[in-house]
Amino acid sequence: MTQVQTWEKSAEKVFAEFWANKVISLFYLIVAGANLFSFATNTLGMKSMLERVLIASVVPVTAFCGLVAIIVWSLERFADVKFIKVMKEASREFFQIFEDDSFEESAEVVRITMKQRAWFIMMDYWAVFACIGVVALLNYLERSFLEVTIGTIIFDFVVAQAFMIYSLRTGQDITFGYGYRRAIDVIHRESKAVGYFGMVALSIKATIWDGPEQVPIFFKKELGGIGRMTALLVILAGFQGWFWAWLYSYGYESVMDAVRAMVA
């Protein structure tokens, strides 16, 4: 089988998987389109409905194809550059792809990993909507900010704990905590400064947005048992709960709305 035939076969599998998981695929398209529609309206100032629809529908496909082309070209063009070599090794560690794996085996590993991640993202979005509902309900009941914060913290902790326990018991890396750790360990071996920066950046991003359950899984080797992991999760869920309670209680729809309000 030639390389071209291999790529064609893999592309067919990707489209088949996309079609077989219509709910997940539609969810991704709606999320990407909605965010780009908002970007076209609020940031680019586009008033025409047609312009905004074109941005929301064409940009995701174009960006994806362009990104893939740039990555493939970069990996081939700069194959001998140390940075590219480190990124390749980090990517292999992230997906756990080994040197003797065939192209089909590697594609299957990536497909399964991304499918698990897709389900996690879908559930995480529903958790975000539910969190907004909790804040809105408590504010409607005219509860104090402290009560709203406590309610949000409890909700965040329960959801994060459920995701963490599921990942630990099933071995499915739905949060990407294990994968990120393997990849950053590779980077850390080459540059401690960049490795530490990656750890800090990932922890901050996970705590504020992605979900605090990612951090205890990332640092599982240092934390050890479930007790310490849960203790760290309580602290992180507390911060995230306070942050989102503050954000939604004051009517902000996103972090960028809050930033714009503070700098205005």
pLDDT at 103 over 70: no
pLDDT at 19 over 70: no
pLDDT confidence of residue 9: 59
119-128, 154-163, 212-221: least confident range: 119-128
pLDDT confidence of residue 243: 85
Sign of the Cα pseudo-torsion (256, 259, 263, 264, in order):
positive
119-128, 153-162, 211-220, 239-248: least confident range: 119-128
Say what the pTM is.
0.67
Cβ atoms 183, 158 nearer than 8 A: no
DSSP string, 139-157: HHTT--HHHHHHHHHHHHH
192 versus 257: which is more confidently predicted?
Answer: 192
79 versus 96: which is more confidently predicted?
Answer: 96
255 versus 143: which is more confidently predicted?
Answer: 143
pLDDT at 186 over 60: yes
Give whole-number Cα distances, 255 to 85, 129, 199, 226, 260, in Å: 35, 15, 22, 31, 9
SS (H, E, C) 14-47: HHHHHHHCHHHHHHHHHHHHHHHHHHHHHCCCCC
pLDDT at 258 over 50: no
pLDDT at 104 over 80: no
63 versus 131: which is more confidently predicted?
Answer: 131
pLDDT mean across residues, the chain = 76
Highest mean pLDDT among 130-139, 161-170, 206-215: 161-170
pLDDT at 253 over 60: no
Mean per-residue pLDDT for 38-42?
Answer: 67
pLDDT at 257 over 80: no
% of the chain at pLDDT higher than 90: 14
pLDDT confidence of residue 12: 58
**Rounded distance, CA 134 to CA 206, Å?**
21
Give whole-number Cα distances, 222 to 160, 179, 204, in Å: 19, 16, 18
Give residue 72's pLDDT band: very low, low, confident or very high (50, 70, 90). Answer: low
